[in-house]
Structure 1
Amino acid sequence: MNTPIESTGAPRRVLVTGGSRGIGAATALRCAQQGWDVAVNYARDAQAAEAVCAQVRALGRQALAVQADVADEAQVLAMFDTIDRTLGPIGALVNNAGVVAENQRVADMTVQRLQRIFNTNVVGSFVCAREAVRRMSTLHASPQARAAGGGRGGAIVNLSSKAAVLGAPGWYVDYAASKGAIDTFTVGLARELALEGIRVNGVRPGIVDTDIHASGGWPDRAHTSSALIPMQRPGRPDEVAAAIAWLLSDDASYTTGATLDVAGGR
C-alpha cells in the first residue's frame, strides 16, 4: 500500500464520477491506497460500484456507492446530498463520467446524439464541479458546508481525451469536441478558483484498454489501434489513475490549470 500523503486541510474524501469501471474504478482504488475515503458514482451498474467499494474498504478506507446520471441536475444534487450526509463534504472531485457513441461522420449525426454527448461530458462535469466548489471553496463555501467541515479547499481533476487534440475525424468528432470543451473548462475554472484553495487540472488519456470502446461499436479498438501509438500498446486504467491521483495530491500543490497527456506518446 502506498503511504498516505498528508493533507493541507481539505477533507480526505473524493468523489469519482463514473467510478464503477475502467479508469474510474482504477482511480477509486488508487485514491484509497493514498488515504482517501471514496464516493463511487455510477449511472446503472450498482453491482459493479459495490464491488469497487468492497475493494476500497479492504484497503482500510470508507466507501459509498451513489447512483446518479451526471447529465441530470436533480440526480447530481441528490448525489451530493447523500455524500454530505453519509461521508461528509468532499475535498476532491474526479470528473470521469463520460459517454461516447458509435463511429459516425458529422454529416450523419443527429441532434439527439449530440445532446447526449454534451449533456453528459460537458454539462455533467460543470454541474458536478459547481457542487464541489460550493463545498470546497475557502471563500464561497455554503454555511452548511462549513458547518460540516468543508470550506477548506480541495482539488478537481477533469478527464479529457487525446481526441480533443486530434479531432477524431471519421470516428466521433462530437466526443472529441466535448473533450475540447473540458480542456477549456479546466483552464478557466483553475484560474477562477486559484485564490479559493481549489486546484483544477485535467488528464488527457489516449487509447486505453477499457470497455468504453464497446459502447462506441469497436470493442477491440484498444488493441487493433496499437500501431497508431508510438509505444505500440494501449494504456492501462491504472496508468491513468496514477496521474489523476498525483494531481489530487499535495505533491502537485503548485500545479493548477494543467492538462497532462497520458497517451503513450500519441
Structure 2
Amino acid sequence: MPATLHPASTPTHLAAAGSLLLITGGSRGIGAATARLAAQAGWHVVLGYASDAAAAEAVVAELHALGVMAWALQADVADEAAVGRLFSQVDTLCARNALVLRGLANNAGVVDRAQRLDEMSGERLRRMVAVNLLGSLYCAREAVRRMSTRHGGTGGAIVNLSSVAGRLGAPGQYVDYAATKGAIDTFTLGLAREVATEGVRVNAVRPGVIDTEIHASGGQPERAWQLAPQIPMQRPGAADEVAQAVVWLLSPAASYTTGAVLDVTGGR
C-alpha cells in the first residue's frame, strides 16, 4: 500500500487543533525557548517547574500574548507522587478546555559542580539520577498512559533532552551527569520501539555546549564561552537552536522519525 503523502499546501510543522504540550523544566533556558516556539506552531502549553514560580509565570504571559492557552504547574519530577499529581492536573486542564495531551518535552535536569567521581557524595549521585533519569522515566510513563492507542489515546510525541556529555563522558567534571544522559539515549531507543505501533513517537535531542543558566548552577557561569575553542563552530549554541530541533521532532513534519537522537552540538 503506498504511503500517505501530505499535500504540499499542508503546514506540517503546525500542531493539530487542541494539542497540549507539557514541558518540564519550562521556566528558563531550553524549556522556555521550546515553549515560545511551540506556541508559535499552535501548541497550547503546560510549563512544569521546580521552584521559580515567577519565572514560569513570566513565560506563561509571553505565551498568552502569542494567542495560545498556557499554564505553569509546580512539580519536582524526582518525586513520583508529584509527577502523578502534575499529570492529574493536566488531565483536568484537558477536560475543561477541550485539549488533548499530544506532546511531552522531558527537559527538566540538573548539573552540579565539577568534581571527580571519587569526590562526589551519595546525596549528589542520588539527586542526579532522581531528577535527570527517573524524572524522565516517570513523565514518559504517564504520557504513554494517556497518548498510546493501547490505552485509548490518539497518539503523540515525546522528546527527551539528552546531552553530548552522554557521548563524551565528562571526565573530571561530572561523570554522574554524563551517565544519566547516556541512559536517556538508551531509554529513548527502547521506548520508541516499545510504542512504535501505538501512535507514539519517541526521540531525543542531544545538545552540546549551550549558553544557558545551567552553567551558573554548576558554579561555572562563563563555561559555555570558555569551551568555545573546543567546538568546531567556535561558539556555544543558543537555547533557541535546541528548541527548534525539539519542536520539529514534536511536529507532524517528523511523522516518520522515532528512536532518533539528534545532535545539536556545533559539530562537537
Scaled by the length of structure 2, the TM-score of the pair is: 0.92
Deviations 1:193-245 (CA, angstroms, capped at 9, x unpaired): 00000000000000000010011111110111101111000000000000000
Shift of 1:82: 0.9
The answer to whether 1:85 aligns with 2:92 is: yes
Q: Distance in 2 between matches of 1:194 and 1:139?
A: 11
Identify the match of residue 73 of structure 1 among 80, 88, 92.
80
1:21 matched residue in structure 2: 28
Q: Residues 6, 224 of structure 1: CA spacing in aligned structure 2 closer, same or farther, 3 A cutoff?
A: closer
Q: Residues 50, 265 of structure 1: CA spacing in aligned structure 2 closer, same or farther, 3 A cutoff?
A: same
Letter in 2 for 1:224: Q
Identify the match of residue 94 of structure 1 among 98, 101, 105.
105
Shift of 1:74: 1.1
What stretches of structure 1 of length at least 5 have no aligned partner? 142-150
Q: Distance in 1 between matches of 2:57 and 2:21?
A: 16
Letter in 1 for 2:187: F
SS at match of 1:91: strand
SS at match of 1:164: helix
1:247 matched residue in structure 2: 249
2:229 matched residue in structure 1: 227
The answer to whether 1:48 aligns with 2:59 is: no
What stretches of structure 2 of length at least 5 have no aligned partner? 1-10
Deviations 1:152-188 (CA, angstroms, capped at 9, x unpaired): 0000000000000000001100000000000000000
2:115 matched residue in structure 1: 104
Q: Distance in 1 between matches of 2:14 and 2:70?
A: 20
1:177 matched residue in structure 2: 179
The answer to whether 1:58 aligns with 2:100 is: no
Residue 27 of structure 2 contacts residue 56 of structure 2 at CA under 8 Å; is this kept in 1? yes
1:117 matched residue in structure 2: 128
The answer to whether 1:128 aligns with 2:139 is: yes
2:3 matched residue in structure 1: none
Residue 26 of structure 2 contacts residue 47 of structure 2 at CA under 8 Å; is this kept in 1? yes
Residue identity over aligned pairs, in percent, reads 62
Q: Distance in 2 between matches of 1:130 and 1:94?
A: 13
Residue 159 of structure 2 contacts residue 250 of structure 2 at CA under 8 Å; is this kept in 1? yes
Q: Distance in 2 between matches of 1:224 and 1:47?
A: 30
Letter in 1 for 2:169: G
Q: Residues 197, 4 of structure 1: CA spacing in aligned structure 2 closer, same or farther, 3 A cutoff?
A: closer
The answer to whether 1:265 aligns with 2:234 is: no
Shift of 1:140: 2.1
Q: Distance in 2 between matches of 1:15 and 1:22?
A: 15
Once the two structures are superposed, the pairs formed by residues 185-196 of structure 1 within 5 Å of their partners are 185-196=187-198
The answer to whether 1:35 aligns with 2:42 is: yes
Residue 154 of structure 1 contacts residue 199 of structure 1 at CA under 8 Å; is this kept in 2? yes
Deviations 1:33-89 (CA, angstroms, capped at 9, x unpaired): 000000001000000000111111111100010000000011111111111112344
Shift of 1:5: 3.7
SS at match of 2:173: coil
Residue 136 of structure 1 contacts residue 153 of structure 1 at CA under 8 Å; is this kept in 2? yes
SS at match of 1:44: coil
1:211 matched residue in structure 2: 213
Aligned residues: 254
Residue 12 of structure 2 contacts residue 251 of structure 2 at CA under 8 Å; is this kept in 1? no
Deviations 1:87-113 (CA, angstroms, capped at 9, x unpaired): 344111000000011000011111111
